[in-house]
Structure 1
């Protein structure tokens, strides 16, 4: 028993779709900071490659205009403040396209991994977040150890990449002071672009390990015990008593519709009291006769009563009534093996209606019903044939 209880408490089951959906509603989705950082750096490099030249020209013109001071501004302090605000606004407008591309890149990571999720539950204040014990558990958990490893790897990789990058560009950096301002700005933009590309590729190496780990760790956190799966199934499908009540209501509704179709039937085949099956044949449709109603015991009596009330013919044919009850559902066509028996009954009923007397009519015999159908439910009838 102890082993069974312990195994029931182990999270060995894969998360169900409902578990994943509930987790997503709480904002708990797989995320990779390294992927986000890589895409942010790469989008920054793309923005510099596309806009670096124009931004350098615009800033060169802005700096030149800013360093030119009108003589009247020296004696009018409010004009200097207004001019400073104009320069700040102009700088923001120059940088706006760059920031838009960079922001788009930073949003691309979450969209690629986990999708866009917005929830306020994680932002709510929770006293348990201040617990030192929980903080220590996070530090020494597999996730915390993985974060420590990633941090060390990032430090080593990025430091190495930055050192190699600086060594490769040191000569170009030292000669920037010898260039004209516009040429120096262009060269700086180019070097910064390549620097961001190399750093983003370095982060890509770390992200290639972090993304699979984040997906695995998120799935591990969502895993469920057997009891949780069983409880969820009960909650989703409904408890047995609720399901039985729903089925009972469905049966009542189906019976109500069934009773409404009896007046349109051609014949009700009976057992005579235990079973009743109402048959309707639509010659224009060209299909086989269909069962429009069927029932047993009290329902069979009700079917017969409604048939009598609406002048629907009833015909006692115990083997056929039992066979139809066992092999069909309401709305089904009759089985092929019972075509002959039903056809003989319908022919008899049609002839009876036409002549008004059964004196010279031959009634269908039990031999019209295949042998394998004749003994169905016989043991339940207490001698009633």
Structure 2
């Protein structure tokens, strides 16, 4: 009941991160019926291209072994080993291509459904896989009922297909009673190919339905609640309160470094208490005055205080201070349009014998 209510609360589609994490953990939508279809398709290929030639190659060896059992020396263990080696090699020549084709088709059925991924978490021990309670819920739960319905559909489909094929081949089977026994294997192979082909056609419909159901069920299981989406957003983007605190700390450190740079300034242009821009001018360092600090309100007052403590001239010019504050950045030279007014202030300061705070109108 709790699981049902929890599932009902998951009304939101999974986010890209949720889907990506599920794929990395090996939780992928897989249709088991696709493997069955691949096996039947492999059997059909084997029947069409390999069975006849393989049997023809294997028949002489088995025939000689059965017809003339005393024609093989078995006096020593080496003779027996040689005999088993010959028979085993012939059997391997017959069986290895069949096993390879079935394995290739099975691997292709898996790769066509999902891209290959290395998910070590899937092979780690999990207590829930051997828990009787979990096993009971898997067998008699919704998924267990779906698997049971698919099994019944497969059984019914295969039974109907086999009945139709055998019914259509009934007359031919009776005729085989009066035909040469050498033709029986070919007739049996033909009927088997018809049965396997019909089963493949019937299975295609089941695989299409099962693929759609597997992906639908997978997406439904990955659904999230609104709270889960909010928590994931916080984890990926960071807690807004923490981020605001970090930004505040970064601004404080930047202001402290900026205030510490004021003693390097040549002059400070201020708008009495609202704006303050500290400029450093040294011909050997930069072709134009460099902004080492700027601030507004409280920061402007701290810049002026630091300038006065270090006996740096503070020039009050309301219009120029506001314009510089809006146009320049720290650690950048002033734009060309401010060269003339700033140069006049620097010339004015250099012409004074005793530099002290002045007010330029």
Q: Which runs of 5+ in 1 are unaligned?
A: 1-5, 281-289, 335-341, 359-363, 366-385
Shift of 1:153: 1.1
Alignment correspondent of 1:71 = 71
Contact kept, 8 Å, 2:165 with 2:194, in 1: the verdict is no
- Whether the 8 Å CA contact 1:267–1:346 is kept in 2: the answer is no
Which residue does the alignment assign to 2:98?
98
Q: What is the aligned partner in structure 2 of residue 21 from structure 1? A: 20
TM-superposed CA distance for 1:246, in Å, is: 3.6
Q: How far apart are the structure 1 equivalents of 2:104 and 2:173?
A: 30
Equivalent of 1:178, from 177, 180, 197? 180
Q: Indicate conservation of the 8 Å contact 1:258/1:292, yes or no.
A: yes
Distance 2:251 2:85 in 1: 78
Alignment partner, residue 167 of structure 1? 167
Q: How many residues align?
A: 338
Report what 1:38 is aligned to.
Answer: 37
Compute the displacement of 1:116 (Å): 3.0
SS of the equivalent of 2:340 reads: helix
Shift of residue 82, structure 1, vs aligned partner: 3.5
Tell me the residue number matched to 1:379: none
- How far did 1:154 drift? 0.9
Matches within 5 A, 1:47-62: 47-62=46-61
Tell me, in whole angstroms, the C-alpha distance in 1 between the residues paired with 2:305 and 2:100.
78
Pairwise mapping of residues 137-286 of structure 1 onto structure 2 (< 5 A)?
A: 137-170=137-170, 175=176, 178=180, 180=182, 188-248=188-248, 250-251=250-251, 270-276=270-276
Q: Secondary structure at the match of 1:199?
A: helix
Q: Deviations over 1:95-152 (max 9, x none)?
A: 22222221122122332334334445466241674334x4454344332222222122
Q: Are the counterparts in 1 of residues 161 and 195 from structure 2 also a CA contact under 8 Å? A: no
Residue aligned with 2:10, SS: coil
> Displacement of 1:244 after TM fit?
3.2
Equivalent position of 1:375 in the other structure: none
Distance 1:251 1:197 in 2: 74
SS across alignment from 1:223:
coil
TM-superposition CA deviations, 1:345-375 (whole Å, max 9, x none) = 22323466689669xxxxx99xxxxxxxxxx
Find the aligned partners of 2:222 and 2:263 in 1 and give their Cα distance.
57
* Counterpart pick for 2:338 among 337, 342, 345: 345
Q: What TM-score does the superposition give when structure 2 sets the normalisation length?
A: 0.70
**1:131 corresponds to:** 132
> TM-score, with normalisation over the residues of structure 1?
0.66
